[in-house]
Structure 1
Amino acid sequence: MPEELDRIRVGSAYDVVVGRDVLASAGSLVPETAQRVLVVHSAHLVDPALVVADALRDNGFEVHEAPVPDAEAAKTGDVATHLWGQLGRAGFTRTDVVVGVGGGTVTDLAGFVAATWLRGVPVVQVPTTLLAMVDAAVGGKTGINTPEGKNLVGAFHSPVGVLCDVEVLATLPRADYVGGMAEVLKAGFIADPVILDLVAADPDAAVSPDGPATLELIHRAVSVKATVVSEDLREAGLREILNYGHTLGHAIEQAEGYRMRHGEAVAIGMVFAAELAHREGLIDDALLARHRSVLASVGLPTSYAARPLDELLVTMGRDKKTRGSTLRFVVLEGLARPTRLVGPSHGALAAAYAAIAP
């Protein structure tokens, strides 16, 4: 079990700090060579952003604040352009820093703006949702959306530090916390089955920031991602396993106009991937059933049929893992044994999609 203040090293690049009441230590993650800091934060996250901004000022930095729209509305070219303009007017140089305070959309946006300003300035991520703590803020993948799909424009740009304050999660709506559990459980399926055991032992406590296993679940999920991205920063191979459930999940998100939470869509995508793997003889009945049982136990959806498969396949064809016209899915060939399924037949896809119908 990790201590109350935990440091998880991501390769030789940076630490992910996990603890309680640690927002005021944000200044310690910003390089001393910086003079100016742009704090990008969700418009509704005034209190945590203020704590971070004040901590940075106390450390002697010139702080500029940049509230942005909530959710996926933040991840647009227009918002990025606005932030670039703010950096330009404030005279940000290559030694100055961007800090992202918010959920996954804000950390994606802040990272992208940092990656592209002057071809790259440092970024510190302060995720405030479970989803962002265990996924979006760790690993250096940044991006914005276009009408054609999610995260199709982006860059790899590792942060210089990540600060996760679990106390902030107490203000998170339950549905958002549950959505973040999809990425925690994903880590369990692809690499660390202890996560699944901890959740199954007490599903109600697993979706509470005050639960007895909360810090351990976050530690384990972050550790899985840290291990994978340390070996494959630019998604050349191994890192694709982190996209378990995401191929269909991203397509559903776009089809639903991003009104469905990311974690909810990924949960459905994991069940779909499990159905595909089962039909290919890669996993047994028990592991297939375990997907539905553990996801449902924390309140995540496991079925979907709101859109025709052919519509979703068009979007999946633009997925980053697709090569030419060949779809590639991350699937399991056993618990914690991810692999790739390349070019499944339309019949297999249709059968798997039919199996996740309500």
Structure 2
Amino acid sequence: MTRIDVALGGRSYPILIESGLLSRAGQSIAAPGGGRAQVIVTDQTVAAHHLDGFLRGLDRPSETIVLAAGEATKSWANLEILCEQLLSFGVERGDNIIALGGGVIGDLTGFAASIIRRGCQFVQVPTTLLAQVDSSVGGKTAINSRAGKNLVGAFHQPSLVLIDPDVLTTLPARELRAGYAEVAKYGLIGDAPFFDWCERNAATLLAGDTAALTEAIAVSCRSKAAVVAADERETDDMRALLNLGHTFGHALEAEGGYSGDLLHGEAVAIGMILAFRYSARRGLCGSADADRVADHFAAHDMAVAIPGFARDPDRLIGHMRQDKKARGGQVPLILARGIGKAFVAHDVDLADVRAFLAEEIAKL
């Protein structure tokens, strides 16, 4: 078993990574629990694949809440449904609320846990690659609103993260590729040798090789844990770096109505390409770096172009203005001076970004 600790003083917690961990989860969940009950929150797709096996691996009876699958589940309506159901089970602060699913279930469950009884304990058991390497770690919880993605939420750390790479065997290839975008992100942000590793091993990883997946998950979690420990609430630029590609990507998702036409990881992949191309346009990095990023994703059948439904630059800029990092009307962008050399640019002129997007769209 690989153990990675997120060092947050009295709120520190472990990330445990091991094949087969889902089937014996009770051995790990029991330790930090301490509560008298536990409730599992999952979605219909994950329940069909993993819920029975997970229940068998627990050491005590559990209530179960099964929600619809998909990004649309991260809504006010489902937050209300989830909170009311949790309260109907008599959940107390020390009980285990377990998020068994991808980023949608983890974000929604974590947010519900943050507001039920002014803060309850919860456990993350991520079942997608994207959730395993990114959203399950760090305590960012949220739902979407009409104004944009993840704009209503709270920082609320889990007590434990359990990661079983074996669950990824049931993940559709498209979902695996989307999650891989967040793996490559860690190399592009600040670890050029890891991006080199990605270029050598992506095909093996995407073919489902357990060793490659475990290595990628561990490296990604170590990187994120270090960032979260240093800048938990994004009070300086360090944690903001994890949003490489996300400002562009969230705008694409919002324009698509958070539908299945564009997965979050696909939007992030396109967003990272745009971030590197815009960096090259500003003379911050060479065009070869931007091409390298785009070519890497394209080589593995990943989304690399702005989708047809999102080709109005004015609408995209409108979505970008809703970015959570905006201060005084200024929207910072995560740009790059090369592979592994990301930084936060606070001097971005959105009129220039609009011109850039118009040029990119005109090429399509």
- Separation (CA, whole Å) in 1 of partners of 2:279 and 2:145: 31
Q: How far is the alpha carbon of 1:299 from its aligned partner? A: 1.9
> Partner of 2:280: helix, strand, or coil?
helix
Q: How does 1:19-98 map to 2 (within 5 A)?
A: 19-27=18-26, 28-30=28-30, 31-46=32-47, 47-56=49-58, 59-60=59-60, 62-98=61-97
Whether 1:254 and 2:254 are equivalent positions in the alignment is yes
Q: How does 1:159-198 map to 2 (within 5 A)?
A: 159-198=158-197
- Separation (CA, whole Å) in 1 of partners of 2:326 and 2:332: 6
Q: How far is the alpha carbon of 1:19 from its aligned partner? A: 1.4
CA contact (8 A) 1:39 1:65 kept: yes
CA contact (8 A) 1:134 1:222 kept: yes
- Separation (CA, whole Å) in 1 of partners of 2:227 and 2:112: 24
CA contact (8 A) 1:39 1:53 kept: no
Q: 1:276 aligns with which of 275, 278, 287?
A: 278
CA contact (8 A) 2:276 2:290 kept: yes
Which residue pairs with 1:10 in the alignment?
A: 6
> Partner of 1:45: helix, strand, or coil?
helix
Whether 1:207 and 2:206 are equivalent positions in the alignment is yes
TM-score when normalising by structure 1: 0.93
Deviation track 1:303-352 (CA, whole Å, cap 9, x = no partner) reads 21632111011111011011132121011123322211224234531343
Larger helix percent: 2
Whether 1:315 and 2:319 are equivalent positions in the alignment is yes
- Separation (CA, whole Å) in 1 of partners of 2:296 and 2:64: 40
- Separation (CA, whole Å) in 1 of partners of 2:303 and 2:218: 24
- Separation (CA, whole Å) in 1 of partners of 2:336 and 2:356: 14
Which residue pairs with 1:291 in the alignment?
A: 293
Alignment gaps of 5+ in structure 1 = none
> Partner of 1:303: helix, strand, or coil?
coil
- Separation (CA, whole Å) in 2 of partners of 1:346 and 1:278: 16
Q: How far is the alpha carbon of 1:277 from its aligned partner? A: 1.2
Which residue pairs with 1:240 in the alignment?
A: 240
Q: How does 1:206-225 map to 2 (within 5 A)?
A: 206-210=205-209, 212-225=211-224
Q: Match for 1:127: what amino acid? A: P
CA contact (8 A) 2:24 2:57 kept: yes
Which residue pairs with 1:110 in the alignment?
A: 109
Alignment gaps of 5+ in structure 2 = none
CA contact (8 A) 1:71 1:105 kept: yes
CA contact (8 A) 1:112 1:155 kept: yes
Q: Match for 1:33: what amino acid? A: G
Q: Against the structure 1 CA distance between its residues 239 and 293, is the aligned structure 2 distance closer, same or farther, given a 3 Å change threshold?
A: same
Deviation track 1:70-99 (CA, whole Å, cap 9, x = no partner) reads 011221111111121112222111111210
Of 122-131 and 306-315, more deviation after overlay is shown by 306-315
Deviation track 1:262-307 (CA, whole Å, cap 9, x = no partner) reads 0111111111111221122211232122111222122222221632
Q: Match for 1:124: what amino acid? A: V
Of 249-258 and 341-350, more deviation after overlay is shown by 341-350
Q: How far is the alpha carbon of 1:155 from its aligned partner? A: 0.5
TM-score when normalising by structure 2: 0.92
> Partner of 2:5: helix, strand, or coil?
strand
CA contact (8 A) 1:83 1:113 kept: yes
Of 142-151 and 28-37, more deviation after overlay is shown by 28-37
Which residue pairs with 1:342 in the alignment?
A: 346
Q: Which runs of 4+ in 1 moved over 6 A?
A: none
Q: Match for 1:22: what amino acid? A: L
- Separation (CA, whole Å) in 2 of partners of 1:303 and 1:343: 26
> Partner of 1:151: helix, strand, or coil?
strand
Q: Against the structure 1 CA distance between its residues 91 and 212, is the aligned structure 2 distance closer, same or farther, given a 3 Å change threshold?
A: closer
Which residue pairs with 2:336 in the alignment?
A: 332
CA contact (8 A) 1:203 1:297 kept: no
Which residue pairs with 2:265 in the alignment?
A: 263
CA contact (8 A) 1:196 1:294 kept: no
- Separation (CA, whole Å) in 1 of partners of 2:76 and 2:351: 38
Q: How far is the alpha carbon of 1:195 from its aligned partner? A: 2.8
> Partner of 2:62: helix, strand, or coil?
strand
Q: Against the structure 1 CA distance between its residues 274 and 146, is the aligned structure 2 distance closer, same or farther, given a 3 Å change threshold?
A: same
Q: How far is the alpha carbon of 1:165 from its aligned partner? A: 0.7
> Partner of 2:45: helix, strand, or coil?
coil
Q: How far is the alpha carbon of 1:173 from its aligned partner? A: 0.3
Q: Match for 1:316: what amino acid? A: M
Q: How far is the alpha carbon of 1:188 from its aligned partner? A: 0.9
Of 148-157 and 332-341, more deviation after overlay is shown by 332-341
- Separation (CA, whole Å) in 2 of partners of 1:162 and 1:10: 10
Whether 1:226 and 2:225 are equivalent positions in the alignment is yes
Which residue pairs with 1:123 in the alignment?
A: 122
Matched residues, number: 351
What's the % identity of the aligned pairs? 36
